[in-house]
Chain A
């Protein structure tokens, strides 16, 4: 039953990614011509020669029917070629090899940080309900959800620079090369993004825990004379986890958006800037791969979330 369900979800996810890719594939072609940009250069140096634009369009194969271009792209994917960037001529695969791990690391560690912030605070405010704790969570929630990551990032950077005269070394050294430098470079962005991501999480954890606390089985557990810590850790938390994890899974898009922002603010060589640049340069092959990767990440993480929650809550598995 459950396996069937997962297979169904996987196929659905695959179709979603395919459709998203096609939609983006079509729409970016309506919104600006890479050939014009290649010939015209940047806004600084627009020297425009329509005949030359036509020639470049031919060279890039952009004069062919849309559907043929799309199947060409899919064919490339199947045979393992991600293609080259229109603008730099460099293979996209080379860029991904360097940039993808960076983005995954930041995303993963930031989400982890969010849990570090949110779990104790959410739990605390649910268990000790009262003006004071309520106030703390509320203040935290408002600050964290009102503050944009880029602004907080800048603020933290300026504060650290002005107070300690320190700024993380530029760029990002691989952890295998120098772990200490790597940690210095990564710590501020993940704390900042973790903080911002924690906003929604705190509220969700608090509500989930409150809901579970009202369940009859909690009363039963207490009535059995279990220690309060056992009740909370074994019965309440476990049941509150399933919906919280599902919630986190649904927020992948939000997480990835945040990663792009901190990558820019902290100048980290992840996928974010690469993709943003690609959009403004109308670098179609890169944009398509970007949608494919982000879409797949979204689908895969949601699938994983399903699996994890179903292990935490067997009822979900049964329902299939």
Chain B
């Protein structure tokens, strides 16, 4: 398969890119996992079953026995404890971007070798999701305690179905079958080879030549090359990522006015963008994934301001709102974006221009872009909302905050924060779903947090169904990357 580049950080707890995950995930396992053929389901992995206390404050996981790490050491509850301690409170020099997932964990107990207990400060139904995402993979305790550099390939040791074989920068990252995997029948593949390739045309050609079995990208593949090839399937699945606009009211006063924010969301034509940018493969949705368990139904999405069918009426209303807010001649600001996608910012600028808002796109290298965002030196920025998993805490947690330092926009609503906090703790699934719908709708309809939903890009999958077996394209390309049950038909 292709990798979008060379892996940057092979320490799964620190890593943030798909490339890193695709390289490492087949080697490491988690307490629970998502079903590779249906990401809405959670399955047992290193924990064979789990118990949740009635108050929702204690999660007990019963571990699989007889599991070995690649280096031969046995897997016990201590490995789980030490791994999560590292994720929650990383030692000096280790950056753990997902520590916030476990901010409700008070302590972790290991009553015996095969039991792990998470004791929480407050109910947190997201916990089951967060111990199932591959980024919380379990390393052997002895490596972590010895302070080993887990970015080093020699420390790429887990209990997973594949183990590290070799890495030649720029050429290939190779994994081989783990003969001591706990399930003797798995994995089916003898190995996995990832080729770092940055030129999409080269990737497409390598696929055509049969050098790749699987080709994935966020960039639209050269579809004409695959036309008329009935053996090749090209699938575009809406991702869990969402393009969003971030309005910084700290540096641009007019964004404090709700009428200005509403005018912007009214001016955006999401369906036009879906047609232009995803070949029509994406769908109109709310912040939660349209095929997931928390999806806001489409008819509800369409009721949100700016999401209806009649764009002309929306534009008229936008102009009127701007006039009421004191900007009858429109307004002007800078639209910051990074160089992954240069078309989306110009589409946005064009659509805003139709109601008299002049957004001047400024496309930066990623490094510079991130620095400007961190320093809050922007007026409007285009970026992703990128939940690690399709779950409300992951989707909203990063930006629904009244913490002045954490807020990107300097805008918030106490009422909606309360609603969010209720979702965080709610144990009843139906109630939680209903509250999530409410939050999703209200943040689409009126961007009080200064976050405006733009559209959901697609992740393209190109493969030959007659060869690549027991593998289905999924929306989240960072969730089910273990490939234990995939095989190749010769």
Please state if B169 and A95 are interface contacts (CB–CB under 8 Å): yes
Least distance between A194 CB and chain B CB atoms (Å): 19
Cβ 8 A contact of B151, one of A37, A47, A48, A89: A89
- Of B3-11, B60-68, B353-361, B461-469, the one touching chain A: B3-11
Cβ 8 A contact of B374, one of A36, A89, A172, A279: A36
- Let me know if B48 is at the binding interface, CB within 8 A: no
Cβ 8 A contact of B171, one of A33, A154, A171: A171
CA distance A283 to B397 in the complex (A): 30
* Contact A267-B199, Cβ < 8 Å, known A32-B367, A43-B383, A59-B92: yes
CA distance A281 to B7 in the complex (A): 12
- Let me know if B168 is at the binding interface, CB within 8 A: yes
Residues of A within 8 A of B371 (CB): 32-33, 36-37
- For the complex, count residues of B whose C-beta is within 8 A of A: 55
- Let me know if A167 is at the binding interface, CB within 8 A: yes
Residues of A within 8 A of B92 (CB): 59
- Let me know if B487 is at the binding interface, CB within 8 A: no
Least distance between B372 CB and chain A CB atoms (Å): 9
* Contact A48-B386, Cβ < 8 Å, known A41-B17, A273-B170, A274-B169: no
- Let me know if A53 is at the binding interface, CB within 8 A: yes
Please state if B149 and A89 are interface contacts (CB–CB under 8 Å): yes
Please state if A43 and B338 are interface contacts (CB–CB under 8 Å): yes
- Let me know if A233 is at the binding interface, CB within 8 A: no
Residues of A within 8 A of B17 (CB): 41-42, 44-45
Please state if A277 and B386 are interface contacts (CB–CB under 8 Å): no
A 8-52 to B, binary, CB cutoff 8 A, 1 in contact else 0: 000000000000000000000001111011111111111111111
- Let me know if B241 is at the binding interface, CB within 8 A: yes
Least distance between B133 CB and chain A CB atoms (Å): 12
* Contact A170-B170, Cβ < 8 Å, known A44-B384, A281-B367: no
CA distance A105 to B373 in the complex (A): 42
Smallest CB gap from B100: residue in A: A47
- Of B138-146, B206-214, B230-238, the one touching chain A: B206-214
- Let me know if B276 is at the binding interface, CB within 8 A: no
A 59-91 to B, binary, CB cutoff 8 A, 1 in contact else 0: 100000000000000000000000000011110
B contact residues vs A (CB 8 Å cutoff)? 5-10, 16-18, 92-93, 95, 97, 100, 149, 151-152, 168-172, 195-199, 201-202, 205-206, 208-209, 211, 225, 241, 338, 340, 365-371, 373-374, 383-384, 386, 388, 398, 405-406, 408
* Contact A161-B208, Cβ < 8 Å, known A31-B367, A170-B172, A266-B202: yes
Please state if A166 and B172 are interface contacts (CB–CB under 8 Å): no
Please state if B366 and A267 are interface contacts (CB–CB under 8 Å): no
Please state if B171 and A269 are interface contacts (CB–CB under 8 Å): yes
Please state if B209 and A37 are interface contacts (CB–CB under 8 Å): no
Cβ 8 A contact of A48, one of B10, B195, B366, B374: B374
Q: Chain B interface secondary structure, helix, strand, loop or mixed?
A: loop
Residues of B within 8 A of A274 (CB): 6, 169-170
A contact residues vs B (CB 8 Å cutoff)? 31-34, 36-53, 56, 59, 87-90, 95, 98-99, 150, 154, 157-158, 161, 165-167, 169-172, 264-270, 273-274, 277, 279-282
* Contact A33-B370, Cβ < 8 Å, known A50-B405, A158-B205: yes
Least distance between B7 CB and chain A CB atoms (Å): 7
Smallest CB gap from B153: residue in A: A90
Please state if B198 and A88 are interface contacts (CB–CB under 8 Å): no
Please state if B8 and A50 are interface contacts (CB–CB under 8 Å): no
CA distance A265 to B241 in the complex (A): 28
Smallest CB gap from B152: residue in A: A89
Other 14 A-B pairs with CB < 8 A, given A171-B170, A172-B171, A273-B5: A37-B366, A40-B373, A40-B374, A44-B384, A46-B373, A56-B95, A90-B151, A90-B152, A157-B202, A161-B208, A169-B211, A264-B199, A281-B366, A282-B367
CA distance A284 to B281 in the complex (A): 39
Interface centre among B8, B369, B384, B388 (most CB of A within 10 A): B8
Please state if A87 and B8 are interface contacts (CB–CB under 8 Å): yes
Question: Can you name 25 A-B residue pairings with CB atoms under 8 Å?
Answer: A31-B367, A32-B368, A32-B371, A33-B371, A36-B367, A36-B374, A39-B374, A41-B16, A43-B384, A44-B17, A45-B17, A45-B386, A50-B374, A52-B95, A88-B7, A90-B152, A95-B169, A98-B170, A154-B201, A170-B206, A265-B199, A265-B202, A267-B170, A267-B197, A274-B169
